[in-house]
Chain A
Amino acid sequence: QQQVKQSPQSLIVQKGGISIINCAYENTAFDYFPWYQQFPGKGPALLIAIRPDVSEKKEGRFTISFNKSAKQFSLHIMDSQPGDSATYFCAASISFTYGGSQGNLIFGKGTKLSVKP
């Protein structure tokens, strides 16, 4: 119930292509879904986040698509660049309003993205 399942484990994309990473969850109490980006030797950093009252959120080349009925959400990276090569983690939590803490994130296992020039 507390798991967030992420796929694929690794992804190779050509420069300019679209990278798509998928996540699925079971716990319907989750109401905050961030994506974190991690470069080697660094800690994860928040990339983009969404709440389930919207189906899509876009920030620059990064878009989260959210399907509440299917309990799935995905990250799309348009026009992928070599500088996007990193490990991406989806996560979920229950916000304080609903008895949880937004900080208590349940992470997916990560996707290592390589963008080839």
Chain B
Amino acid sequence: EAQVTQNPRYLITVTGKKLTVTCSQNMNHEYMSWYRQDPGLGLRQIYYSMNVEVTDKGDVPEGYKVSRKEKRNFPLILESPSPNQTSLYFCASSLSAQGAYNQPQHFGDGTRLSIL
């Protein structure tokens, strides 16, 4: 089954304790992206990757890091989490950054992070 898998689905942690949210897709997609979803703000892009070893900042990259060493994986790293990073996070992938018409982004089911 074609899917984007995020782990963990839920995490409660404390300020300053480094954490990684993993994202893996099994569709051989080139493009991957991370979003955060906050009430009243919709989804905002954090980082994206056009292909292996190619990453770039989205609209809200501060406090986050990413890497793309393999095509299927795109982990999101919070080196020193703070309470303002408490949010619902989504990883997404699509076939290519160029995007044929109606080429969808496939989203994972989300990771809810609470940082105390």
Contact = CB atoms under 8 A, between A and B. Distances in A.
Contacts of A9: 40
Interface residues of B, number: 29
B26 to A, nearest CB: 15
B40 to A, nearest CB: 6
B101 A96 contact: no
Interface string A34-56: 10000001111110010100000
Nearest to B110: A43
Contact of A41 (B48, B59, B109): B109
Interface string A1-34: 0100010010000000000000000000000101
Given A42-B109, A43-B4, A89-B42, A51 B33 contact: no
Contacts of A110: 42
Contacts of A32: 99, 101
Interface of A: 2, 6, 9, 32, 34, 41-46, 49, 51, 89, 95-97, 101-110
Given A43-B4, A44-B90, A45-B107, 15 more contacts: A9-B40, A32-B99, A42-B107, A42-B110, A44-B43, A45-B104, A96-B98, A101-B99, A102-B97, A103-B48, A103-B94, A103-B105, A104-B33, A105-B43, A107-B35
15 contacts: A32-B99, A42-B107, A42-B109, A43-B107, A43-B109, A44-B43, A45-B104, A49-B101, A49-B102, A51-B101, A101-B48, A103-B92, A104-B33, A106-B59, A107-B44
